[in-house]
Structure 1
Amino acid sequence: MPLRSATFDLDGTLVDSIPDLAAACHAMLAELGQPPRTDGDVHRFVGKGMAVLVERCLTWDAAPEASLLEAGIASFRRHYADINGRASTVYPGVVEGLEAFRALGLPLGVVTNKPAAFTSPLLERMGLAGYFEVVIAGDTLAFKKPRPEPLLHACALLATEPGLNLHVGDSLNDIESARAAGCPVICVPYGYNEGRPVDSADCDALVSDLVAAARWAAGA
Structure 2
Amino acid sequence: MNGFPFRSVVFDLDGTLADTAPDLTAALNHSLVALGRAPIAGEAVRHMVGHGARALLARGLAATGDGSEAEVDRGFPIFMAFYQAHIADHSQAFPGVEAALAALEAEGVALAICTNKLEGLARQLIAALGWEGRFAAVIGGDTLAVRKPDPAPLHAAIAAAGGGPAAFVGDSITDTETARAAGVPCVALSFGFSDRPPEQLGADRLIDHWDALLPALRALGGGAAQG
Q: Give the alignment's TM-score, normalised by structure 1.
A: 0.92
Q: Does structure 2 conserve the Cα–Cα contact (< 8 Å) formed by 1:169 and 1:187? A: yes
Q: Does structure 1 conserve the Cα–Cα contact (< 8 Å) formed by 2:110 and 2:162? A: no
Once the two structures are superposed, residues 67-124 of structure 1 have per-residue CA deviations (whole angstroms, 9 ceiling, x without a partner) of 2110111110011011001111110000000001111111110111111221111111
Q: Does structure 2 conserve the Cα–Cα contact (< 8 Å) formed by 1:98 and 1:210? A: no
Once the two structures are superposed, residues 165-196 of structure 1 have per-residue CA deviations (whole angstroms, 9 ceiling, x without a partner) of 110111111110001001110111110012x1
- Unpaired segments of 5 or more residues in structure 2? 222-227
Deviation, structure 1 residue 128: 2.2
Q: Give the alignment's TM-score, normalised by structure 2.
A: 0.90
Q: Does structure 2 conserve the Cα–Cα contact (< 8 Å) formed by 1:24 and 1:76? A: yes
Deviation, structure 1 residue 131: 2.4
Picking from 59, 64, 67, the partner of 2:62 is 59
Residue of structure 2 in register with 1:198 after alignment: 198
Q: Does structure 2 conserve the Cα–Cα contact (< 8 Å) formed by 1:98 and 1:131? A: no
Paired AA for residue 176 in structure 1: E
After superposition, the Cα gap between the structure-2 partners of 1:128 and 1:210, relative to the gap in structure 1 and judged at 3 Å, is farther
| Partner SS for 2:133 | helix
| Partner SS for 1:67 | helix
Give the aligned length: 217
Q: Does structure 1 conserve the Cα–Cα contact (< 8 Å) formed by 2:52 and 2:118? A: yes
Residue of structure 2 in register with 1:149 after alignment: 152
- Unpaired segments of 5 or more residues in structure 1? none
Residue of structure 1 in register with 2:173 after alignment: 172
Q: Does structure 1 conserve the Cα–Cα contact (< 8 Å) formed by 2:37 and 2:64? A: no
Aligned: 1:45 with 2:48: yes
Output the CA distance in 2 between the equivalents of 1:6 and 1:86: 27
After superposition, the Cα gap between the structure-2 partners of 1:63 and 1:31, relative to the gap in structure 1 and judged at 3 Å, is closer
After superposition, the Cα gap between the structure-2 partners of 1:70 and 1:201, relative to the gap in structure 1 and judged at 3 Å, is closer
Paired AA for residue 54 in structure 2: A
Residue of structure 2 in register with 1:182 after alignment: 183
Residue of structure 2 in register with 1:24 after alignment: 27
Paired AA for residue 171 in structure 2: D
After superposition, the Cα gap between the structure-2 partners of 1:62 and 1:30, relative to the gap in structure 1 and judged at 3 Å, is closer
After superposition, the Cα gap between the structure-2 partners of 1:109 and 1:31, relative to the gap in structure 1 and judged at 3 Å, is same
Deviation, structure 1 residue 36: 2.1
Picking from 60, 73, 90, the partner of 2:93 is 90
Aligned: 1:101 with 2:77: no
Residue of structure 1 in register with 2:208 after alignment: 208
Paired AA for residue 83 in structure 1: H
Q: Does structure 2 conserve the Cα–Cα contact (< 8 Å) formed by 1:100 and 1:211? A: no
Deviation, structure 1 residue 62: 6.6
Once the two structures are superposed, residues 109-159 of structure 1 have per-residue CA deviations (whole angstroms, 9 ceiling, x without a partner) of 011111122111111111223321111111111212111111011122123
Q: Does structure 2 conserve the Cα–Cα contact (< 8 Å) formed by 1:4 and 1:160? A: yes
